[in-house]
A and B are shown apart, each in its own frame.
Chain A
Amino acid sequence: MKSFATRFRRQTLGLAEREPSPDFVQRVMAAIGQEPPVRKGSHWGVALAAAAGIAVLVSVYLAGTFAIGGGQEVVQARRWLLERQGGDGLWHAEAFGGDGHYTPALTALALVALRNEAGAREAVAKGVSALAASMPVRYDAQSEAYNLTLGAYALAVLSRSGGYPEARKVLSTALARLKGHQTAAGGWSYDGSDGNTALTA
């Protein structure tokens, strides 16, 4: 134990202090100049969120109306997704190199992608049950907010046709929770700021 502590100390505090590059401050300030403006009380975030939301609504509308799905690439992509569903019905973020906390959100997106696939009904039903069971009960951590919003989105899309009664029940709870976290600016955010694009969309 002592040798590990000594080695760790040598590898951290024992390292020679490094001087930052002479132009470090200049580079930071230049980078700040390139950042998009984030102003308190502005409607920048809300506008972006609205634009993204419209994009999502249009894509959902198109997917439902014109039944995209004939292309070979889409068929292959759906098969690829199906093959990666976990035995418990979820798509595990860790399996794709992601953070396991976001598994419900990843499952939600996979289910939306597969919902019209004729050969995936059983997988989707299993996924819906698993997603309903793994929906967060809180909106505190970043992952919970993301899982709750995307999970609710998927459950809303999937239960629209009248199926999945367990999804509808979980959905109504999730929507009530989401309503309680809408910001004054009308969006949804991780931290009480005006709104986050992904969450609001």
Chain B
Amino acid sequence: MPPDAPDPTLREQQEMLAAARGDVQAFERLVATYQKPLVNFFVRSGVSSDAEDCAQRTFLRIWNYRHRYRPTAKFSTFLWMVARQVFLDEVRHRSRKERLHKAFGKEQPGEAAPNHETGPDVASAVARLPKALRQTVLMAFMQGLKYEAIARELDVPLGTVKSRIFHALRRMRKFLEEE
């Protein structure tokens, strides 16, 4: 990085703090920076046929919670935490709708079909994992982070990340076989 270029982490923290003070343009720059990784996070998660809708909801939630942001961690940490919560909410919302459809035995008109690129069951299986395993799987497979980066982010040894991935995949396979 050139010596005069601002550190991206610091710049994003400053932009988020500016957004918290009502600077809409600062927030717009953050949206522009993270729109692609966030949309692809939801594409890979298979949680919804409309990944852009989920990404938009993530940004809206960040905007609504902007006063709670504290620059003690990277902005991206805050963003991915909110994205994972949107993912969970989406899976739960969809599960509720599916149970209602089954209970009442009819299709709801205008409902979005599940995303079969990854498959609806896989998203549900990820959501059923314990938090630590789910977080690691989402970071590795949906965010596309390397195991070393996950270990740094979560402040755990590399072996713990590998072990969590192993156990998460084993549990997910079991969930899917049960269904």
Q: Of all chain B residues, which has the CB nearest A11? A: B118
Partner-binding segment picked from A14-22, A56-64, A121-129, A179-187: A14-22
Contact mask B55-70 → A, CB, 8 Å, 1/0?
1100110011001100
Contact with B along A1-14 (1 / 0, CB 8 A): 10011001101110
Residue from the list B24, B39, B103, B169 in contact with A24, Cβ < 8 A: B39
Q: List the count of A-B residue pairs having beta carbons below 8 Å apart.
A: 90
Which one of B51, B96, B119 has the greatest number of beta carbons of chain A within 10 Å?
Answer: B96
Which residue of the partner chain, among B28, B63, B68, contacts A25 with CB atoms under 8 Å? B28
Given contacts A1-B169, A1-B173, contact A15 B117 (CB under 8 A): yes
B21-61 interface with A by 8 A CB criterion:
24, 27-28, 31-32, 35-36, 39-40, 43-46, 51-52, 55-56, 59-60
In order of increasing CB-CB distance, the 10 nearest A-B pairs are A12-B141, A97-B100, A97-B99, A40-B67, A12-B44, A97-B96, A4-B173, A20-B35, A20-B39, A28-B59
Tell me which residues across on chain A come within 8 A of B32, comparing CB atoms.
Answer: 25
Please determine whether B92 and A99 come into contact, CB atoms closer than 8 angstroms.
yes
Nearest CB on A from B90, distance (A): 14
Whether A18 pairs with B39 at a CB distance below 8 angstroms is yes
Fill in one digit per residue for A22-51: 1 if any B CB lies within 8 Å of its CB, else 0. Answer: 001101110110010011100000000000
Give the chain B neighbours of A97 by CB distance below 8 A: 96-97, 99-100, 103
Count chain A residues whose beta carbon lies closer than 8 angstroms to a beta carbon of B. 32
How far apart sit A12 and B115, CA to CA, in the bound complex (Å)?
Answer: 12
How far is A17 from B169 in the complex, measured between Cα atoms in Å? Answer: 23
A98 within 8 A of B: yes
Which residues of chain A are near B56, meaning CB under 8 Å? 24, 27-28, 31
A residues whose Cβ falls under 8 Å from a Cβ of B: 1, 4-5, 8-9, 11-13, 15, 17-21, 24-25, 27-29, 31-32, 35, 38-40, 94, 96-99, 191, 193
Compute how far the CA of A13 lies from the CA of B141 in the bound complex, rounded to whole angstroms: 6
A8 in contact with B117 given A13-B44, A20-B52, A35-B63 (CB within 8 Å): no
B158 close to A (CB within 8 Å): no
Q: Is the CB of B67 within 8 A of A38?
A: yes
- A8 near B31 with CB under 8 A, answer no
Cβ of B52 and Cβ of A21 under 8 Å apart? Answer: yes
Would you list 28 pairs from A and B whose C-beta atoms are within 8 A, ordered by A residue? Answer: A5-B169, A8-B122, A9-B141, A11-B46, A11-B122, A12-B44, A12-B46, A12-B118, A12-B142, A13-B44, A15-B40, A18-B51, A19-B36, A20-B35, A20-B39, A20-B55, A24-B56, A25-B35, A27-B56, A28-B31, A29-B27, A32-B24, A35-B63, A94-B99, A97-B96, A97-B97, A98-B96, A193-B68
